[in-house]
Amino acid sequence: MADNGTGVTEFILMGFQLQAELQLGLFFMFLAFYLITMGGNLGMIMLIQSDPRLQTPMYFFLSHLSFLDICYSSVIVPQLLETLGTHKMVITYERCATQFFFFTWYASTECFLLAVMAYDRYVAVCSPLLYAMAMTPQTRLGLVAAAYSGAMVNTVVRTGCTFSISFCKSNQVDFFFCDLPPLLKLACSETKSREQVIFLLAFLVITTSISVILISYLFIIWAILKIRTAGAKAKTFSTCASHMTAVALFFGTLIFMYLKGNMGKSLWEDKIVSVFYTVVIPMLNPMIYSLRNKEVKEALKKAFKRMKVSQGE
């Protein structure tokens, strides 16, 4: 196999390095989480596609969020399950780079998509009469395409900078997937300039997305405060509550991982936080949007009634 100019042809994912009984327990736990993630997000996409009441811009963007959660969870979890279940820890250089590329793309796209969803809520709350005109099908597709395209720029540069580094100190990655911090520890060439580019791009992606979200919600809160009746205030706020919860979970973990640096962090903290945003958050998002959303709950009840009727026949 070619060494790609790095001296390394394969990596060894060290994973969690626990006793065999604990590894087996983690295998079944992560398998259950992954199955719930797939079922929940696929179910959300099918529900949105099948219910006419959910054919709105907000749910169009939510279906893409579910798609992204399926994708970036599927980039990580099957590899993790393989490591835990078979103790096969070897991953080729090419497969490692591919995993890194797609994980970065899907996670970056989710950052931008959450910003798009905040902007959608801003238009809906602050300019309800213009909402249908502002969020046309063409506009929705354009916003989603911009999220994927902007994320691709970050992904190409980040992957290129990372895998142009020479890895010759070791091929043992003390992590459960090919992520940036553990890979940088294996570098034997100068990485400062590349790290600065990678950090700058991560900073731009996260801060741009958060800025759009914060500005959108400042206007939303201002509009809600001007509503006179308490019931109308609560109803308007409830349409944004699920998105605010998803934003807090996703960006909180990303900031901890990639913008805080290494100060005060242990490798185990990195692993736990990474499990949270690669395994747990994709599983939680469908629950957040279904349990806190009246329209989704009504659509679910309608779907269950249809299932009972079809079974009765």
Q: Which residues of the chain have pLDDT under 70?
A: 1-7, 169, 258-266, 291-292, 308-313
Phi and psi at residue 228, to the nearest 5°: -80, -40
* Dist CA 138 CA 132 (whole Å): 12
Alpha carbon of 220 to those of 44, 72, 116, 271: distances in Å? Answer: 26, 30, 14, 36
Report the Cα–Cα distance between both ends of the chain, in Å, rounded. 59
H or E stretch covering 11:
strand 10-13
User: What pLDDT, on a 0 to 100 scale, did the predictor assign at position 2?
Assistant: 40
If we measure between CA atoms, which residue out of 51, 20, 122 comes closest to residue 297?
51
Cα–Cα dist 159/178, whole Å:
11
Report the pLDDT value the prediction gives residue 292, as an integer from 0 to 100.
66
Task: Kindly state the tokens that stand for 104.
Answer: 């970065």
Exposure of 138 in the CB half-sphere (CA atoms within 13 A): 2
Q: Is 189 helix (H, G, I), strand (E, B) or coil?
A: coil
Place of tokens 């900073």: 203
- What are the residues whose beta carbons fall under 8 Å from the beta carbon of 67, sequence distance 6 or more? 41, 45
Which of 15, 162, 156, 1 lies closest to 79, judged by CA? 15
Q: So what's the pLDDT on residue 3?
A: 47
